[in-house]
Amino acid sequence: MSDNHALSDYQSVRQLAIRSLFEIFEQFSEGTVIVDREARIVWINQRYAQRFGLDSAEQAIGRPVEQVIPGSLMREVVSSGRPMLLDILDMAKDPLVVMRMPIRDDTGAVIGGIGFALFDELRSLSPLLTRYQRMQAELASTRSLLQARQAKYSFGHFIGTSPASLEVKRRARRGATSDAPVLLLGETGTGKELLAHAIHASSPRADKPFVSVNAAAIPESLLEAEFFGTAPGAFTGADRKGRPGKLQIAQGGTLFLDEIGDMPLALQSKLLRVLQEKEFEPVGSNEMLRSDIRLIAATSIDLDAAVREGRFRADLFYRINVLPIEIPPLRERLEDLPALCEAILDGLRDDHQMLYELDADALALLAQHAWPGNVRELRNLLERTVLLGDRPQLDAATLRSSLGTLQPLPAATSAPSVTLAAGQDFYAAREEFERQLIRSVLDEQAGNVDAAARRLGLGRSTLYKKLAALGLSS
């Protein structure tokens, strides 16, 4: 078969297809109209003309299309040369789903346009519209859930420029760059959850969920179901469809386990399996699910002591203690008080529409308190003072009435007198001091070198070198 013959066949088939397509649209659509390059009607079928109040199609010929079909956009199609493949034409009674296309001559110039009214009511498109609306609703629900599971705080919310605070933020930023478990250690109210949010927000998982579980706030009988989820009908009262656990909700993101030291031993072993094998089973299910979460744990208890007393599994402790970060209590970073007070009072200004300030005597009073509740106690005190007072300037007397009993800071031990022993020089004295200090801290930490290194502010390898140099046994 020659190329010319093939081209001839293609052209004839194309013409037949165009004619068939027009006949199908004209036959099954609710109406068809053709206009010239001036948007005047040159042809309209009878039922379409009657829809717009004409007795016959001939009455529409030669008239501007808008005079016959109010709201028509055929003029725009002719002038722009761009089709409108799916649109809605508003009608007094029922809307029409319409399609409009330009008509071109052999040179490609627009010489008119053709329009089809595909449906006389939107019910024909209801399956498509229903599916689209359902998909939109599911997408909105997913976005809402993900937004609710996003981190609420960044490192900027951890207020403080003291050396202790800067070291905490330095270690936390380092932790954010990795997927290794982070263990936050500190008294209640020091900002452990805030720091967990900040680590997640700065990590590669920031666009994934941040899910928090407080092991001390959930009854032990429900903690496993809360953590792992349940299979359909796993127990009496369980959801027939099953319920996803926090591990499933946190998939791809971060799981924050607050007060992990209060987790029951039985659940500790299951958590260890999740961390080691990256898999778990929902309660009442035989199906093994994969787990992809980054763990941040926090506790206000002494986990070293809990391990020695058998209240916490040693293997789980070693697994989560990859990057420990000790958050100092407020009484050990009192130089952060002015910045903390300013930030808290700024937040209270938003609530009460007044600018509050502490005078020098008020700050001096705050610096004398031991702050057993740490930053949380400080915020509560300032908010209580603002609510009870009526002046923007907060003085010491106002604070004292809100504070109640002042808990003094622990008395500083007096420095021992230092003298050189006979025949001892500076370097020998320093070596003896280091030996006594390290031995004392090791005894305090029950021989745990990791804990002693943290207490001394040294790296573990540095402490081992000093032990060897000083002739001490770990």
* Number of Cβ atoms within 10 Å of the Cβ of 243: 17
Q: Specify the pLDDT at position 348.
A: 82
Provide the β-strand partners of residue 212: 256
- Does the pLDDT value for residue 416 go beyond 80? no
Least confident segment among 76-80, 141-145, 202-206, 347-351: 141-145
* 140-153 tens-digit pLDDT: 655 555 555 566 78
280 Cβ contact list (under 8 Å, min separation 6): 228, 247, 270, 273, 274, 288, 289, 291
Which domains, ranges and CATH numbers included, belong to the chain? Answer: 3-125 (3.30.450.20), 155-232+243-328 (3.40.50.300), 332-403 (1.10.8.60), 426-470 (1.10.10)
Q: Specify the pLDDT at position 413.
A: 47
- Does the pLDDT value for residue 462 go beyond 60? yes
Q: Specify the pLDDT at position 83.
A: 92
Q: What is the pTM of this model?
A: 0.58
- Is the Cα torsion angle 416, 419, 422, 427 positive or negative in sign? positive
* 144-191 tens-digit pLDDT: 555 555 667 888 889 988 888 999 999 999 999 999 999 999 999 999
* 434-453 tens-digit pLDDT: 888 888 888 887 778 888 88
How far apart are alpha carbons 194 and 174 in whole angstroms?
A: 16
* 85-95 tens-digit pLDDT: 878 787 766 67
Provide the β-strand partners of residue 234: none
Judge contact between 170 and 198, C-beta under 8 A. no
- Does the pLDDT value for residue 415 go beyond 50? no
Q: Specify the pLDDT at position 218.
A: 85
